[in-house]
Structure 1
């Protein structure tokens, strides 16, 4: 099973984005972003928001 949080973290860093930028886009704090990175599974609504913010289809990645 793919670890969703690690996939999000890797994609964020590949795009050259910072955790601070990501937290601002999600309207949350940096510690909450790090909590997301530690989650193996992600709520579908949150995953949709993250996919939109990063312009990346995580649903496709996680369905493989």
Structure 2
């Protein structure tokens, strides 16, 4: 399975846009982008900028496992489920299983960040 740098390199190659144009748009040097091609995980902002330049959406190129392993994402094992606030009518079609897994992974990360933020607020300001 190709890593994120290889996926980025392949998408750039398939776009037909020159590396010179891409590095100029990113404000980096050619050696820098070639180093990025060798990295297993890439920063989301960098990938998004490249995608904007070449007109490519990378969200479907990276698997859920690869997205979870991004360097700026941390997992916490003690995540607890929140109660459902409102019940909505299930008239909306069910998402595809991969999309559902991605949403669940994002929800878990979001809850983890909220809990960490609340703990920090309690340490800084104390209980109300």
Q: Verify same fold: TM over 0.5.
A: yes
Q: Please, what TM-score do these two structures have when normalized by structure 1?
A: 0.83
Structure showing the higher helix proportion among its residues? 1
| Structure 2 unpaired stretches of 5+ | 65-128
RMSD: 1.5
The structure whose Rg is larger is 2
| Structure 2 residue matching 1:41: 3-state secondary structure | coil
Please say if residues 2 and 62 of structure 1, whose CA atoms lie closer than 8 Å, have aligned partners that are also in contact.
no
Greater relative contact order structure (CA < 8 Å, 6+ sep):
1
Paired residue total: 64
| Structure 2 residue matching 1:49: 3-state secondary structure | helix
| Structure 1 residue matching 2:60: 3-state secondary structure | helix
| Structure 1 unpaired stretches of 5+ | none
Displacement over 3 Å in runs of 4+: none
